[in-house]
Amino acid sequence: MNITVKIDEVSLATVVDQALAYDDENGPYVAGERTIGHLVAEMIVERLTQDRDRWYELRSTVIREAVLPAIEQAIATPIQKTSLYGDPVGDPVTLREVIVDEARKVINAKDPNDYRGDKGTFLVRVVREEVSNALRAEIAAEVAKAKAAVADEIGKQVAGAVTAAMKAR
């Protein structure tokens, strides 16, 4: 038995697959065709899409490396503070010193709605809240343990009373 396959001409326009659709009235029909050109284009798009993510990552790395020295220089180089009118105010300071100063202001800031002053600074309020949350969790765990112990003890007493009542019958 010999099988002979003869291919006249293959090009990008050669049809290799048909897309079938279904119509309720007429049944299945050919909705479109896929050619070798379509398959090649799909492979190219897939490859470019995979490479795109790698290129985005590479681009971000290169930009970060290029910008980082400028940021470090901007943070370390002294700048002159000015008034609203552009007049120099005080000695030149680095951006790092400005950031540290602003952080201190936030940490030591009082709540503007705290007229009596008993809420404390921002730092005190944050620490107080975290300690409160930690204690709340510990107390809840201990209460759950105590509940379980009480339920167990009550269960033993009820079981003992039921047993005694059954024996008395």
Check: CB of residue 140 under 8 Å from CB of residue 148.
Answer: no
Q: Is residue 112 part of a domain?
A: no
Is 48 within a domain? yes
**What number is the average pLDDT over the span 2-30?**
81
Domain housing 55:
15-76
Report if residue 168 sits inside a domain.
no
Q: Does residue 68 fall inside a structural domain?
A: yes
Look at the block and give the residue holding tokens 């993510």: 53
Q: Which two tokens stand for residue 4?
A: 């002979």
Beta bridge partners of 20: 30
Taking residues 108-121, what's their average pLDDT? 80
Is the pLDDT score of 147 beyond 80? Answer: yes
> pTM here?
0.40
Task: Assess contact for 94 and 102: CB atoms under 8 A.
Answer: no
Question: Do the domain assignments include residue 106?
Answer: no
Please indicate, yes or no, if residue 125 is contained in any of the structural domains: no
- Does residue 33 lie in a domain region? yes
In a domain, 149, yes or no: no
| Tally of domains in the chain | 1
